[in-house]
């Protein structure tokens, strides 16, 4: 009963998201509560489930609130306008180069292993450029998702650490085992811009020669800034220092952006009234994101507390016949994108993986191959996972709805996952 309700609930959630008729927060709050009541849980039980779920996203909510306010602030004072003008001088009138640059920025910024940091660096930097080139934000988002997904297989990333802690595999050994697969995924993410650019050009992306000539004239004009050049330089240095400390692991992301916003606010606007006005100005956007994060906490808390996630995971395992035991890792790899999207990476790594490890060892399979099969899709799809707060940071920064992201990104990400699985099969990393 619990499992059936879980699948029905997720089907309804996905349907409503894709239809785009209702905003995300009511879907993630109302539907799970109704599902829990149908299962016979009391309001006291539901309160506890929700409390646990909210506790799990508090740090993320703080990160999102201050990061969104900080980057909105920088955009308002004109810092990104300065950066965009510098970058546009070297890009030329080519959609694929802008998308490729997005991939490069995402790959570099993901060296710290944090998906949130990657999106916080990549999207605010590239979004204004994409808008000037008439590239849809969702296309830029796809580049960031694909690149960060490929980089997500490094041994210091939370994906690998959670999976290896659940299966007992050494992270360094696993990375050496899957390194050719990761390189293949990175190469695919560098090819992707040239394919997506064709789609975007059909949708009107790019500029005519006349438009680009006109743009070049505006590029040579001074950037529109609301503070002095010295303050803009300070903002840039502050941003680089804060991001550098986060990349080095010295500062947690939430504390980093709290400090950055507080310092920048005082330096850019010394007057108390101006500071208060700016907090009110950016607070609305930040609150929007916090509401979404808390709604995700409600969904995850109820799904975990009622046992839906465990039941759904076990049901997926039960569907696999015994005769497929020798091909299990390959099948898992093919299914890892939809599994991760609908069950969440925590479920895949911490619930499915230990159960699958037992099954694999029983049929004489390799734990390394199992870990590789789970990482392929779970890493690549991390940026469009329905359950988990991190994807919604990227969506908020890019101004894209989850339904739109799923429609646009899923086919590309799933296609990359299938190609990666076939490549892994050829190399023997994930046996056919």
- Which residue in this structure is represented by tokens 């609301």? 226
Of 397, 412, 432, nearest to 150 by C-alpha is 412
At 320 the pLDDT is 66
Cα distances (angstroms) measured from residue 335 to each of 180, 299, 330, 415? 21, 23, 9, 12
Residue 118 tokens read as 């990657």
Here the contacts of 355-361 (C-beta below 8 Å, separation 24 or greater) are: 355/313, 355/314, 355/317, 356/317, 356/328, 356/332, 357/166, 357/167, 357/168, 359/317, 359/325, 359/328, 360/328, 360/329
Residue 248 tokens, joined: 């080095």
What does the alpha-carbon distance between residue 81 and residue 305 come to, in Å, rounded to a whole number?
A: 47
Q: What are the domain boundaries of the chain? A: 2-56+294-427, 58-167+186-291
Rounded CA-CA distance 148/375 in Å is 13
Q: What local confidence, expressed as pLDDT, does residue 419 receive?
A: 97
* pLDDT tens for each residue of 256-288: 889 999 999 999 988 898 889 888 888 877 787
Cα dihedral 307, 311, 314, 319, rounded to 10, equals: -170
CB 96 within 8 A of CB 140: no
pLDDT for res 326: 67
Q: What angle do CA 175, 180, 184 make, to 5 degrees?
A: 120
- Residue 341 CB partners (closer than 8 Å, separation 6+): 381, 384, 385, 386, 410
Residues of the chain with pLDDT under 50: none
- What length is written for the chain? 432
Query: Which pLDDT score, from 0 to 100, does residue 311 have?
Result: 84
Please enumerate in sequence order all residues whose Cβ is within 8 A of that of 312, keeping only pairs 6 or more positions apart, or say none.
3, 6, 7, 10, 343, 347
Task: Give the whole-angstrom CA distance, residue 64 versus residue 396.
Answer: 9
pLDDT digits (tens, 9 = 90+) for 238-257: 988 988 887 677 888 788 88
Question: Which string of b and e fits 65-84 if b means at least 16 CB within 10 Å?
Answer: bbbbbbbbbbebbbbbbbbb
Q: What is the CA radius of gyration of the chain?
A: 22
């Amino acid at each position: 009963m619990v499992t059936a309700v879980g699948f029905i609930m997720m089907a309804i959630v996905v349907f409503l998201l894709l239809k785009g008729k209702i905003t995300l927060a009511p879907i993630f709050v109302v539907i799970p509560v109704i599902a829990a009541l149908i299962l016979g849980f009391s309001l006291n039980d539901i309160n506890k489930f929700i409390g646990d779920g909210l506790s799990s996203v508090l740090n993320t909510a703080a990160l999102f609130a201050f990061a969104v306010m900080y980057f909105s602030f920088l955009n308002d004072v004109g810092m990104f306008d300065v950066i965009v003008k510098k970058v546009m001088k070297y890009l030329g009138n080519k959609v694929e180069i802008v998308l490729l640059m997005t991939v490069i920025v995402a790959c570099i910024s993901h060296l710290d292993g944090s998906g949130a940091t990657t999106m916080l660096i990549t999207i605010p930097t590239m979004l204004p450029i994409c808008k000037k080139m008439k590239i849809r934000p969702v296309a830029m988002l796809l580049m960031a998702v694909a690149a960060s997904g490929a980089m997500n297989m490094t041994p210091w990333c939370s994906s690998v650490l959670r999976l290896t802690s659940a299966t007992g595999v050494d992270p360094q050994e696993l990375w050496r085992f899957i390194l050719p697969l990761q390189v293949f995924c990175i190469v695919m993410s560098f090819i992707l811009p040239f394919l997506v650019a064709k789609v975007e050009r059909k949708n009107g992306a790019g500029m005519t020669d006349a438009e680009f000539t006109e743009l070049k004239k505006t590029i040579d004009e001074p950037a529109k800034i609301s503070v002095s050049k010295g303050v803009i330089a300070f903002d840039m240095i502050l941003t680089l220092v804060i991001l550098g400390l986060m990349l080095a692991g010295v500062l947690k992301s939430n504390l980093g952006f709290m400090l950055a916003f507080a310092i920048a606010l005082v330096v850019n606007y010394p007057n108390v009234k101006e500071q208060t006005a700016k907090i009110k100005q950016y607070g609305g956007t930040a609150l929007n994101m916090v509401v979404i994060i808390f709604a995700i906490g409600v969904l995850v808390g109820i799904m975990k507390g009622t046992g839906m996630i465990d039941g759904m995971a076990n049901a997926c395992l039960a569907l696999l016949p015994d005769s497929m035991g020798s091909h299990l890792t390959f099948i898992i790899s093919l299914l890892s994108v939809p599994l991760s999207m609908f069950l969440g990476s925590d479920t895949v790594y911490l619930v499915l993986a230990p159960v699958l490890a037992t099954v694999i060892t029983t049929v004489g399979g390799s734990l390394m191959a199992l870990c590789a099969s789970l990482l392929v899709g779970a890493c690549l799809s991390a940026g469009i996972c329905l359950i988990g707060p991190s994807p919604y940071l990227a969506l908020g920064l890019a101004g894209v709805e989850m339904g739109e992201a799923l429609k646009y990104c899923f086919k590309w990400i799933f296609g990359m996952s299938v190609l990666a699985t076939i490549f892994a099969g050829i190399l023997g990393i994930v046996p056919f």
